Amino acid sequence: MKKILFFIFALCVVSAHTLHGEIYSANNFENLENVVVEISGTHYAKFVASNNYSVELPEGNYTIEAYYLENGKVALYSKDEISINSDTEYDLILFYPSEFEAVPDSSGEMGIFEMPEKRNTLLCYAALIVVGIIVFLVGHFLSKGGKEGVEKKEEEEEKAEIDEDGRAVLKILKENEGRLEQKELREILKWTESKTSLVVGELEALGYVKRIKKGRKNIIKILGE
């Protein structure tokens, strides 16, 4: 049984990787709904996504285009180049069409598209279901004391107060319309890259900020503003 599961997982790893991320408007960094996502390259897929997306792709180079339509016309648009060689998180940030040299013709109905079925993807889903059942059974028999310990730890983390460094980051974000590139934040605070990442990570864990990936850049957005 173990050998069969290992074979299924090995097949999944070799055949496909998961590309996923959030979908934002560059205007206010709010999530967008009903966005047409078109992926071309080693593999082709076209579908409609809301707030976030996830797709299985084989290793290769891809062009990702995203369209947000209003009254049948492209209101927001993005085009990115990306290489896939492992599971990848990549957020899509859509801009006004005027910010691009050329925008694809939006005439006609784009409709709702479905990704082609892939046999290997189905095998991946089957493997995940099997593993999910195993995890559920193991979790079901965990001791009550262990569960209480985890819950108590989570409550303590939620009640953790922001330290002086965290307050400094939030203050600068509020002074910059609630969002800033992590590199710019580091330069303003004159911190090292590791310290900046640590403080931002702690704030993100506490639910005060969110890191949005844009290529190799991280945009830090304050939440609740």
Q: Residues 91-118: pLDDT tens digits?
A: 999 998 764 444 555 444 444 444 444 4
Domain annotation covers residue 215: yes
The CATH number of the domain where 184 resides is what? 1.10.10.10
Domain annotation covers residue 135: no
Domain annotation covers residue 217: yes
Per the CB < 8 A criterion, the answer to whether 212 and 197 are in contact is no
- DSSP letter string over 164-206? HHHHHHHHHHHHTTTEEEHHHHHHHHT--HHHHHHHHHHHHHT
Strands (E) in 71-151, as ranges, are 73-84, 88-89, 92-94
Which carries the bigger pLDDT value, residue 57 or residue 14?
57
Same domain for 175 and 98: no
For 206-214, what is the mean pLDDT?
A: 88
Same domain for 103 and 35: yes
Please tell me the predicted confidence (pLDDT) of residue 213. Answer: 83
Which residues lie closer than 8 Å to 153 by C-beta, 6 or more apart? none
Please tell me the predicted confidence (pLDDT) of residue 149. Answer: 59
Domain annotation covers residue 197: yes
Q: What is the pTM of this model?
A: 0.52
d(CA 34, CA 72): 12
Same domain for 103 and 38: yes
Domain annotation covers residue 143: no
Domain annotation covers residue 76: yes
Domain annotation covers residue 59: yes
- List the domain range (segments joined by +) for residue 65: 17-117
Please tell me the predicted confidence (pLDDT) of residue 217. Answer: 84
Please tell me the predicted confidence (pLDDT) of residue 171. Answer: 92
Please tell me the predicted confidence (pLDDT) of residue 214. Answer: 79
The CATH number of the domain where 90 resides is what? 2.60.40.1120
Per the CB < 8 A criterion, the answer to whether 165 and 172 are in contact is no
Same domain for 180 and 98: no
What radius of gyration do the chain's Cα atoms show? 21
- Tokens in use for 200? 């931002």
pLDDT beyond 50 at 69: yes
| Per-residue pLDDT tens digits for 29-59 | 899 999 999 999 988 999 999 999 999 999 9
Burial class of residue 90, CB neighbours in 10 A (0-12, 13-18, 19+): middle
For 199-219, what is the mean pLDDT?
A: 88
d(CA 126, CA 4): 12
As for how many domains the chain has, the answer is: 2
Pairing, β 60-70 against β 35-41:
antiparallel
d(CA 15, CA 160): 43
CA angle (102 as vertex; 25, 98 as ends), nearest 5: 45
d(CA 18, CA 141): 31
